[in-house]
A and B are shown apart, each in its own frame.
Chain A
Amino acid sequence: MDKKEKRTELKVSAIENGTVIDHIPSHMLFRVIKILGLDNTDNMILFGTNLESKKYGNKGIIKVSNKYFESEEINKIALVAPTASLIEIKDFKVTNKKNVKIPGDIIKIVKCFNPNCITNHQNITTKFKVIQQKPELKLRCYYCEKTTAKDNMVFL
C-alpha cells in the first residue's frame, strides 16, 4: 500500500478488532453490504466509497468491528467484487490478509438469465454451479440447466 493510499484509508477511521474489506469496486459497495448482511447487523460498520486507488482508480472500503468472516461467507462477494481483499485486525494490528475466491456454487446472488426458468416465475432461491471462470465467467442454473454468462448477469 503506497503513502497516498494509506492516507485515503485513514479517511475511514481505524478499528481495534475486526475486518477491513478493501478494494471493492465503488459501484458495488452497497451490494457487498447487502450480500454480507451488513445492513442488518449490530456490529459497528464504517464504510467509504469513491476513494482514490492507485491500482483501480477508485474503490470502496468497509470496516466491520468484532467480526471475522469464514472463507465460505466472504467468497459470496467474489462475483461482484473479485478484486476485494480482506485484512483481519486484532488490537489495531494486521493479523491476516486474504483474497476472495469465486466459490463452486452461487446461491441467492444472481438471477437466472433464462426467462422461462422456474426461478423467474415462483418464489425460489436461485442456485448455480460455476462451470467456467476464465476467459469469461459462466454459471449453470441448477434448475433449468441453462448457462448465464458474466455479461448477462443480473444481481438480485
Chain B
Amino acid sequence: MLTTTTRAAELIHSGKKLLIAGDRDLLTSLPQGQWIGGTIPYFMSERGGCVTRDEVFVTELPKEIGEVRICRYRASDLMNLTKDAFKGGLSFIIVPASSEAHLEFARQAPDIPGIFGTPLVGWISGVHLGDLATARAATFDGTHGDASAAATPGSSHEEEAVVMHCSLPADKIATVHIVNLFTPGDGPTIMFDATGFSAGECTIGGKRQNLATYLTENGIDTKQPLVADYCGAMVNISFQAVDAAKGEVTFYAPVFSDVEYRIAKPVKDYVSEFQHRIPVNARHCAFSCNCILNFLYSELEGKKTGHIQGPITFGEIAYQLLNQTLVYVSIDAKRAAI
C-alpha cells in the first residue's frame, strides 16, 4: 500500500516484516526494524499508477513468513547469495541500478550456485527519470538504521544489493510468476559475440551485421524487446538506445553470447494487452513489481491494475534480471501451488 512515513514507521515499530519503496529522503527517515527498501518514485497503487515523492509503498509480508535474515551483498559477494537462504523458504532482493552489484547480478545470476533452489524475487531500485544525471539509486537495510552505508563505514548502500531471506512453514511454498506480453517474433534469430549491455556487430539470420543498422534500416520499433525462449520462460532484453552513427545498441539487461534472440512479435494494443494479461485473481500474492517501461509504454499512470500493486522498477528479478515484465510471488499450500 502507498502510505505515509508515519504509518510505515508504525508498522516497523509493530514488528512487521516489510519491503518498502520510495524516495531516498523518506526511506532515510524510517526507524530500524525488519525491513528492506529501495529508491523509486513510481508505483502501481490502489489509486492506480502514480509518481510521488511524498509517500512510500509498503509491502507487508504475509503471516506465513517465519524467521527472516537480512543480508547485504557487494558485487563480489553475490555468488554466495543462496548460502544465506532458508531451505524451503524464499528470498526478496533489491539491487541499486547502475551499481557493480547490478551489473554482476545481471551477468552472473543464472550461474549462482543453487539459484533455482529457493525462490528469488525482487527489483532494481532507481530514481526519477528526470534525475538520471544527478541522482543514484540506493538500497536500504532496515536492521542497520537509516541506510546500509551508515552501518558499514567505507561501504556504500549505492553499491550493495540487500536481501531479506525468509523461512516458510513446511506446508507452504512460494511460487514466482512472470507476466510477459512478448513472445519471439517471426524474424531472424540474433546471436551476440559477447555477453554485455551493448552490442554492435552480431549474427542476424546467420549473417554478420550491425544491430543498430539492422534496427534502423528495418524500422523496428524498439519498444519491442529482444526475446529469448528459456524452455518456456520468455526472457526479454529491452532496448535502451540505438546509436546508428556509432553503430551501437545499448540494453537494460545484458544479452548473453550463447542465447538465441528474436525481436518480439508486435503487440497491437500495448495498453489493453498488458491490462488483459495482469492476473485478476492471483492467489495469495505476497509481492509484485512492474517495469518502468511497462509503466511508460502502457501509459499506466492513473490506470488501475487490480490488486497487483507494488513498485515500478528499473528491472525485475525472478531468479535472474528481467525487463518489461511484471513479476509477482505467491505463497500457497504445497499441494495447490501448481
- Is B a genuine binding partner of A? no
Please list the residues of chain B having a beta carbon within 8 angstroms of any beta carbon in chain A: none
Please list the residues of chain A having a beta carbon within 8 angstroms of any beta carbon in chain B: none
